[in-house]
Amino acid sequence: MNNVTTWQVISTIIARDWRVAMRRRSDILNPLLFVLMVVTLFPLAVGPGPDVLGRIAAGVIWVVALLSSLLGSERLFRDDYLDGTLEQLVLLPTPLAVTALAKIIIHWLLSGLPLVILTPVCALLLKLPMDGWATLMLTLLLGTPILSALTAIGAALTVSLGRGGALLSLLLLPLFIPLIIFASAAVEGALVGAPILGQVLLLAGLMVLTLTLAPLAVAAAIRVSVN
């Protein structure tokens, strides 16, 4: 029995998944293109005037972020499940929750972080007033890890089904609701010059709570799915 530390497991899984993802970059790019296209649809649908667009911009960006995180979620465990890697990960001597946490981190690096980087473009397209930009970026930075963690739970539960798509959104969207409430309240507060520290701290607290508990749920779900 060789002594692998927790950090070694996490970094190895992250490095491996990064390499796998880099060989199929379209999987990372497609959800981002989806975000851009949906954002483009809104001015066409509600009119290009800055008064309407600017008011709904933060909410639209958040809803689109939720939807795009559902799009990319199936690849979280699907390939590993199909080629048997997931079973090998279950057999690791370290707790399965550690593996789950690594999976959540790499998923955030590949889907959440690009989304945060893309946000200024979306905010520009939707004419969000400048006062809200920093807050929007901050809420996305705090919120996308929550998205990745919750998505991982849903993906782990449905990985053995092979037809997760619509079911996954049914499971996950109710869980996203607190997130979108706090995030849009923070941006709205920033736009009218109200203090936003409370909402931001709540989001940060939610992120810590989710990242603590979600790996346990993901581990239990993987055990059920792999059997």
Residue carrying structure tokens 């998944």: 17
Closest CA to 38 of 107, 108, 118: 118
- Using the minimum distance from each CB to another protein, give the nearer residue, 118 or 217: 217
Q: Is 42 in the site for another protein (CB under 8 A)?
A: no
Q: Is 99 in the site for another protein (CB under 8 A)?
A: no
Q: Is 201 in the site for another protein (CB under 8 A)?
A: no
Tell me how far apart the alpha carbons of residues 122 and 56 are, in angstroms, rounded to a whole number. Answer: 12
- Asked if 221 and 211 touch (Cβ cutoff 8 Å), the reply is no
> What does the block give as tokens for 111?
């889907």
- Using the minimum distance from each CB to another protein, give the nearer residue, 16 or 78: 78
Judged by CB under 8 A, the residue of 182, 187, 191, 196 near another protein is 182
CB of 109 to another protein, least distance (A): 23
Q: Is 225 in the site for another protein (CB under 8 A)?
A: yes
- Using the minimum distance from each CB to another protein, give the nearer residue, 94 or 160: 160
Tell me how far apart the alpha carbons of residues 49 and 52 are, in angstroms, rounded to a whole number. Answer: 6
- Asked if 32 and 120 touch (Cβ cutoff 8 Å), the reply is no
CB of 182 to another protein, least distance (A): 6
Q: Is 217 in the site for another protein (CB under 8 A)?
A: yes
Q: Which residues contact 87 (CB under 8 A, 6 or more apart)?
A: 226
CB of 209 to another protein, least distance (A): 8
CB of 65 to another protein, least distance (A): 17
